[in-house]
Amino acid sequence: MIIDTYSLVVLFLGTCALGAVLSAILPDRSQLKALAWMASIASLLALSASGAVLLFGDASHARLWQLPYFGTIDLYMDRISALFIFVTALVYLPVSIFSAEYMEKYHGRYSLKSFGVFYHLLFASVVLTLIAADIVSFLIAWEAMTILSYLLVNYEHEHEEVTRSGYLMLAMSEVGTVAAALALLIMVGASENFTFASLKTASSGLGQFAKWAVFLLSFSGFGVKAGLVPGSAWLPRAHPAAPGNASAILSGVILNLGIYGIVRVNADLLPVAYPSQGLIVLVVGSLSALIGILYATTENDMKKMLAHSSIENMGIITACLGAGFIFGAYGHPSLAGIAFIVALYHMANHSMYKALLFLGASAVDSKAGGRNMNRLGGLIKGMPWTAAFFLVGALSIAALPPFNGFVTEWLTLQTLLQSSVLSSKAIKIAFALCGATLALTAALAVTCFVKAFAMSFLGIARSEEAKTAMEARRSATIPMGFLAIVCLLLGILPTYIIPVVDRVVAPVVHESVVDGLAPPFFTFTPSKDTKFSDAFVSEFHDLGAQVGRGILPGRGLVVLHQGSERNPVVFAMSTSYTLVVLALLLGTSALLVRLIFRRRAVKRQPAWDGGLRRLLPEMTYTATGFSNPVRVIFDSIFRPSMVENTRETVAGHFRTAIRNGRSETYIVDKLAVQPIFRASRWLAAVVVGMHSARVNAYAGYILITLLIFLAIQGFV
């Protein structure tokens, strides 16, 4: 090809390095501009490199230096990596522009130089992780990425809570890294060298026990990175602790790396062979989704809510992956392909709208004085653009057409409904339960983001800062607008995107599923050779499925599954058509209203409040009140404990104050993390007991060890 992806990658790395260097030497005044420029250029380079690979074919395979004993350092960007890099760059671009204004508030308090250095190096390390094709480079880049993201989280290191959250994140990431590394090393045992290619060819030779070990270790290790329950204890603490734009990176980019690891190891290197492994993935994903959205709905801190919501979305992605694994293990490659496509599409969508929401939350944080929704309100008057873009993000994450969340949410549930082809009853029941769970999370997500948007932007301002909030500068609103437009495009052009993702997935499942996904009607291209009989297709022709052919843009998004001859199952939806119809309806109504009522005067009166003298902010619904029903219904998960419940009474009868306080526990902490902490503390206590500081004891230890070795030597 004309474009040489290899040189693009090299250019990209060079730009990142240059950016880091510039951040280190430039004075603070031009620091942020340099950061914005360099990072944007780097993003564009990465976009073009990965775009080229995605659209045109496989890319460079670079064999770099040969290390003694560890083998060659191999860099290979295949389509999977390319997709992830594309999404990464698509997030980095607006965030970099946003940083230009946002980071100004740290001027003088914290070092902008170190932020710039970490930022560029993180970008480089992420891309390196994604294109690493042998274990050594993978692990080195992974570690670098972990440590750099920790440094970004720990940026406001003067707050104790921030440092604690960062430390927890680092510790859990390291545990995950160790598990993942072990998984990779087990696979090395059967192969000749450390490259992924040889791992792939050798993986089929592993025994059952080894395959299970690899699966469990890699899934738990990468699952911690992706924030799946029960490894999600660090997420709700770490993401809010980082500065706003870093949170966007963390949620939109770093979490994806966990998914990348799962996909790379369990779909590419060592494809899942046992359905029960897929079942584990499916169940863990559904549980994460449910728990994530529950805590998001009842959370009042905007950023913490978005962090919990990230857990939910990662759960959805994982559930789709699990479904794909199960379909693949049972020998339905096309369905597996659909599931993987959906998972990767959702990953891309999530990065887009999560980054948008985090940027919006950061803008609100810096302009309206805080993240606590109980102290916001009425921001739509002062920050209309931020409100509009945040609304787009909220609509997308709540899976409403015509935005992108709708497409993948719909496809997820459709995929899970395809379980009728499976033979095992238990698995079918599991699919049904998980499908129900995901439907519940979808409903809760709508509640959560209605609350988030309404409490922050609508209604009356509940604090002084919220009343006087002003719109963010253009360098902040333009990136948000960019992401909003991307969300819309991803939502109305799914049938152009899915073939691209399909080519990513095809090498994994060895089959292309596009034809089953978007049949020839609705289009204006001549009919392709599909695997559906002509009679089947003509039935839909009679139903008028070709209406609008040649006039309306885009193809309809249809999931066709020819079950049996008697009962073909079809699910059809066209988001581009939805957008056109919506636009027509809204536009016509607006025009009609303008025409018919152009002579009427419009009077504006304050909202009717029952005749009160003045409606005070205390008299309007708070965020806590709005989500209280959810809290009450899911009481057993939240396990709230009443901390204070005092009633102050004067003179025996007059109640002068009632104080209710409550604290809630994070169930993952309670069920997963605390027991591990306690166990390790117990273990540490035991070990401390062994250090009795008596010479006799140590002599005894040496003796015992010697005896054990002698015994082993004797048996072997």
CA distance linking residue 622 with residue 455, whole number of Å: 7
CA distance linking residue 162 with residue 559, whole number of Å: 46
Of 374 and 674, which has the nearer Cβ to other proteins? 374
Q: SS3 string of 207-239?
A: CHHHHHHHHHHHHHHHHHHHCCCCCCCCHHHHH
Host H or E run for residue 72: strand 71-76
Residues 642 to 671: which contact other proteins by CB under 8 A? 650-662
CB 693 → other proteins: shortest distance, Å? 50
Query: How many residues at the interface with other proteins, by CB under 8 A?
Result: 40
Give the pair of three-digit tokens for residue 549: 């052919």
Q: Interface with other proteins includes 27 (CB under 8 A)?
A: no
**Half-sphere exposure of residue 661, counting CA atoms within 13 Å on the CB side?**
4
Of 533 and 628, which has the nearer Cβ to other proteins? 628
Q: Give the residue, chosen from 204, 538, 628, 641, that forms a contact with other proteins under the rule CB under 8 A.
A: 628
Q: Interface with other proteins includes 689 (CB under 8 A)?
A: no
CB 283 → other proteins: shortest distance, Å? 32
Q: Give the residue, chosen from 205, 587, 629, 640, that forms a contact with other proteins under the rule CB under 8 A.
A: 629
Q: Segment near other proteins (CB under 8 A), from 177-185, 486-494, 505-513, 606-614?
A: 606-614
Q: Segment near other proteins (CB under 8 A), from 184-192, 201-209, 330-338, 618-626?
A: 618-626
Q: Interface with other proteins includes 616 (CB under 8 A)?
A: yes
How far are the Cα atoms of 227, 259, 285, 352, 482 from residue 315, in angstroms, in the given order? 8, 10, 4, 17, 26
Residues 369 to 388: which contact other proteins by CB under 8 A? 374
Q: By C-alpha distance, which of 37, 36, 153 is closest to 98?
A: 36
What is residue 77's DSSP assignment?
Answer: -
- In the chain, % helix, strand, coil (3-state, to 5) comes to 70, 5, 25
CB 457 → other proteins: shortest distance, Å? 18
Residues 293 to 332: which contact other proteins by CB under 8 A? 300
CA distance linking residue 75 with residue 502, whole number of Å: 23
CA distance linking residue 252 with residue 232, whole number of Å: 16
Of 323 and 444, which has the nearer Cβ to other proteins? 444
Q: SS3 string of 396-441?
A: HHCCCCCCHHHHHHHHHHHHHHHHHHCCCHHHHHHHHHHHHHHHHH
Residues 402 to 431: which contact other proteins by CB under 8 A? none
Of 466 and 673, which has the nearer Cβ to other proteins? 466
Q: Interface with other proteins includes 598 (CB under 8 A)?
A: no
What is residue 606's DSSP assignment?
Answer: P
Q: Give the residue, chosen from 208, 567, 605, 696, that forms a contact with other proteins under the rule CB under 8 A.
A: 605
Q: Give the residue, chosen from 603, 604, 691, 694, that forms a contact with other proteins under the rule CB under 8 A.
A: 603
Q: Interface with other proteins includes 625 (CB under 8 A)?
A: yes
How many C-beta atoms lie closer than 10 Å to residue 470's C-beta? 9
Binding track over 250-289 against other proteins, x by CB under 8 A: ----------------------------------------
Q: Give the residue, chosen from 125, 351, 437, 627, that forms a contact with other proteins under the rule CB under 8 A.
A: 627
Of 530 and 665, which has the nearer Cβ to other proteins? 665
CA distance linking residue 479 with residue 483, whole number of Å: 6
CB 462 → other proteins: shortest distance, Å? 9
The full DSSP string for 491-541 is HH-HHHHHHHHHHHHHHHHTS--HHHHS-STT-SSPP---SS-HHHHHHHH
Of 58 and 161, which has the nearer Cβ to other proteins? 161
Where along the sequence are the contacts to other proteins (CB under 8 A)? 300, 374, 603, 605, 608-616, 618-629, 631-632, 650-662
